[in-house]
Structure 1
Amino acid sequence: MIWKKFLLFFSLIGPGILTAIGDNDVGGIASNSMAGAHYGYSFLWILLIITVTLTIVLDMCARMGVVTGKGLMDLIRENFGIGWTTFSIFCLTIANIATIISNFGGLAGGIEIFGISRYIFVPIITLAIWYLVTKGTYKIVERGLLVISMVVLSYIGSAFLAKPDWNLVIKQTLTPSIQFNQDYLMLIVAFVGTTIAPWMLFFIQSMIVDKGITKKHINFVRWEVWLSSFLSDYAISFFIIVACAATLYKHSIKIADISDAAIALKPLAGDFAFILFAVGLLAAAILAIFLLPLTTSYAICETFGFENGLNKKPEDAPVFYRVFTGLLLIGCPFVLIPNLPIFPLIITAQVIAGISTPILLIFILLLSNNKKLMGKHKNSFIFNFLAWISVAAIILTIAFYMFLTLTGKA
């Protein structure tokens, strides 16, 4: 009996772990690296709080996907009308395009660490991604993405090779500290944007629907979400911050480019730590270049009622695959522009995503509390309490950051 449940759980794995590991895209790596390099371990407690919020939100999205059999944009359209749906798809698309370009930038910067030209590597990888998605099935794409996602775990190794002070790490993880200045708050907003990224909220729900998971397996799906959020998303972000804090912050090295963190690790933590960090960057970029265009394709098709899904052939879901292809064609050529400032672009993309997040969270909270829609699977009191507190905190942080930005106060 236990073995049957164990095997069933593993057969349902996919949406949760891909969403959680995909959360550590190039923007996530950049934000985590900057946090560790510029502020040491002081962001670890913020990461813990944001991860709890992320888990609650993904749990709501997963439950809605299983119970309704519909994607998030479908539900927004049916329950709030086309006006709010158009607004939501606009927010998502802007945030996703910025994030797609930033991940292509990370791919270009990551491969050049190894002395390979971006002008050769980036187009080849783009073509390979396009071929796998347009010619494969859901199962093939999911398995390919799971293999790539395992490579991102290399960041755990790089953190241990950096030899941090683990007592200090634990202390600062559990001890809140905050700075009320523009740069610090901007990084918190970027953290929100990369940890509770708008694309994730749509992706996990659409993938659950595409996979065909039913209500009888809802508890397995929720377990996957919670385990994935902490064992993959939180763990990877945690170890990236630790690796950079133990080396770059300790030696007062600031980073101005996505590849700086990996290169700076080399003399401080050794060649192997450098290789692990750089390979993790490449894997994260490739994974995100798969996931973000797919999310946008799902959302646009759900908004306007077009056929969508990886189990459908291009001729059966033409808009779905055209949107996916179009987004690849935007991101790939953009990063082939010489001297493009990649790092500011990446952080800006996360800030845009962070500002968009609270709007989408409010829709998710309203939908997951709809008894007619969710029945016995609607939110509990504790879920609502934690979720609304989190949304309020995010909105206040963004408002304060915007105030400092507009008034020019640091």
Structure 2
Amino acid sequence: MTSSSRPHQHKHQHQQQSWLKKLGPGLITGAADDDPSGIATYSQAGAQFGFNMLWTVLLTYPLMVGIQVVSARIGRVSGHGLATNIRRHYPAWLLYTVVGLLLIANTINIAADLSAMGEAMKLIAGGPAPLYAVLFGVLSLLLQVFIPYRRYVRLLKWLTLALLAYVATVFVVKTPWTQVLTRALLPHLSWQKEYITTVVAVFGTTISPYLFFWQASQEVEDQRADPRAQPLVTAPEQASKGLRRIKIDTLIGMGFSNLVAFFIILTTAVTLNVHGITDIQSSAQAATALRPIAGEFAFLLFSAGIIGTGLLAIPVLAGSSAYAMAGAFNWKNSLEDTPLNAKAFYGIIAVSTLIGIALGFTAIDPIKALYWSAVINGVISVPIMAVMMLMAVRPEIMGRFTITARLRLLGWLATTMMALAVLAMLATQ
């Protein structure tokens, strides 16, 4: 290599590192949205309604970007997570109701995800699914407790690659791309109860409260991890770079999330729906049904993806519960702290994960548990989103960085759509 080519190579490597650094809270949040429970929902959508459910993830993308950018900006601008800001500026009953329901929904979701991961591992390697679920839960807990935040975030970034399994699966099977594009843009809509319920389920699993709390708190973590960074209300000169990074990170992260959801719906539509398999209740069941139709390789990709996404999602679920509780009660709340310095914070992570593990050994039906988790998430997402939108325009929280008119429009549109989804869900019961 000539000496003149080295500066160009170093510049290229620096640009790559710069782009990777910009991808953090938004990328991890978006990827964690496609957890095993989400995979089950998307699989059911594709199996039951084929290509006619692809339009949902095209619609949720801009809505998801809008509300996640709002949550991220609140964290980066104020230097505090959502629960801390709610505690400081809103009634106590609202704070405790939201945080309590979030904790319940997240714990049930952890249980459902661990159960799905155990079943997926059993499909791949044989053996007892409950034991695998316990091992995955304990592994996730130990990683959160004993690995410092900056190293742990790098691990979570790598785990996002597990989602590419669902993109690859589509290319293992024969796909009529012209028909896919037509149905995605011009779907056959229906007012049947089952169709509306599935649309609501897709919205509920894509736009979830735990994602709001996680991304806002991760922005605070990133700011604390950088000795030069400060909350934007006290360091407005950092705003241009900081807000641009949030926008890029969230656009890419939510794009990745919705792209994967699109491909899961597409995979199950082009395999299960075409062969008349329309009732899928879990992600492991989807993988099993896929095996005789799409072949061994597609089955292994789908199953391995369930485990990888679960390892990514469980820390986000447990962590968002811990951030919410710590913010509500003014505890130390950082993954950068040691367990001895933030006992209550890490205690919530441990309790949420361990209860999630324990629920797998009870008589509770994991499918019904998942349903009620989705119901709770859907119901509490609306007031949380409304409070976030109100916080984002308050100068006492955001200083001069209150959100723009365009972001206000997008955020309130997302809130309205979620409210309509919840009303439709209640009306169809």
TM-score range, shorter chain: over 0.9
Instruction: Return the letter of the residue paired with 1:94.
Output: I
Secondary structure of the 1:24 match is coil
1:264 aligns with: 289
Determine which of 275, 283, 307 is the counterpart of 2:300: 275
Query: In 2, distance between residues paired with 1:139 and 1:321?
Result: 17
- By how many angstroms is 1:2 displaced? 8.4
2:372 aligns with: 348
Query: In 2, distance between residues paired with 1:11 and 1:147?
Result: 13
Query: In 1, distance between residues paired with 2:77 and 2:281?
Result: 45
1:371-398 deviation digits (Å, cap 9, x = unpaired) = 3322443222222223223322321232
Query: In 1, distance between residues paired with 2:415 and 2:144?
Result: 35
Instruction: Return the letter of the residue paired with 1:164.
Output: T
Instruction: Return the letter of the residue paired with 2:135.
Output: I
Which residues of 2 match residues 78-97 of structure 1 at below 5 A?
Answer: 78-97=88-107
Query: In 1, distance between residues paired with 2:368 and 2:44?
Result: 12
Instruction: Return the letter of the residue paired with 2:203.
Output: V
Determine which of 21, 25, 29 is the counterpart of 1:15: 25
Asked if the contact 1:298/1:308 (under 8 Å) is kept, the reply is yes
Instruction: Return the letter of the residue paired with 2:82.
Output: L
Query: In 1, distance between residues paired with 2:281 and 2:98?
Result: 32
Determine which of 266, 273, 277 is the counterpart of 1:253: 277
2:68 corresponds to 1:58? yes
Instruction: Return the letter of the residue paired with 1:223.
Output: I
Which residues of 2 match residues 95-110 of structure 1 at below 5 A?
Answer: 95-110=105-120
Secondary structure of the 1:307 match is coil
Question: Which range is displaced more, 287-296 or 242-251?
Answer: 287-296
2:259 corresponds to 1:235? yes
Identity %: 26
TM-score, length-scaled by structure 2: 0.89
Asked if the contact 1:257/1:342 (under 8 Å) is kept, the reply is no
Query: In 2, distance between residues paired with 1:176 and 1:371?
Result: 43
**What 5-or-longer segments of structure 2 have no aligned partner?**
1-10, 233-237
Query: In 2, distance between residues paired with 1:88 and 1:402?
Result: 19
2:406 corresponds to 1:396? no
2:319 corresponds to 1:294? yes
Query: In 1, distance between residues paired with 2:61 and 2:385?
Result: 15
Question: Which range is displaced more, 313-322 or 163-172?
Answer: 163-172
Instruction: Return the letter of the residue paired with 1:371.
Output: P
2:170 corresponds to 1:159? yes
Determine which of 308, 328, 336 is the counterpart of 1:303: 328
Instruction: Return the letter of the residue paired with 1:381.
Output: A
1:26 aligns with: 36
Instruction: Return the letter of the residue paired with 2:145.
Output: T
- By how many angstroms is 1:237 displaced? 0.3
2:333 corresponds to 1:333? no
Secondary structure of the 2:283 match is coil
How large is the Cα RMSD of the aligned pairs? 1.9
- By how many angstroms is 1:5 displaced? 5.9
1:139 aligns with: 150
**What 5-or-longer segments of structure 1 have no aligned partner?**
406-410
TM-score, length-scaled by structure 1: 0.93
Query: In 2, distance between residues paired with 1:199 and 1:400?
Result: 22
Instruction: Return the letter of the residue paired with 1:39.
Output: F
1:349-408 deviation digits (Å, cap 9, x = unpaired) = 223212221111101111111233224432222222232233223212321321231xxx
2:216 aligns with: 205
Query: In 2, distance between residues paired with 1:2 and 1:61?
Result: 32
Question: Which range is displaced more, 394-403 or 315-324?
Answer: 394-403
Query: In 2, distance between residues paired with 1:202 and 1:319?
Result: 17
Structure showing greater Rg: 2
Question: Which range is displaced more, 136-145 or 304-313?
Answer: 136-145
Asked if the contact 2:221/2:334 (under 8 Å) is kept, the reply is yes
Instruction: Return the letter of the residue paired with 2:423.
Output: A
Instruction: Return the letter of the residue paired with 2:266.
Output: V
Question: Which range is displaced more, 139-148 or 233-242?
Answer: 139-148
Query: In 2, distance between residues paired with 1:81 and 1:6?
Result: 45
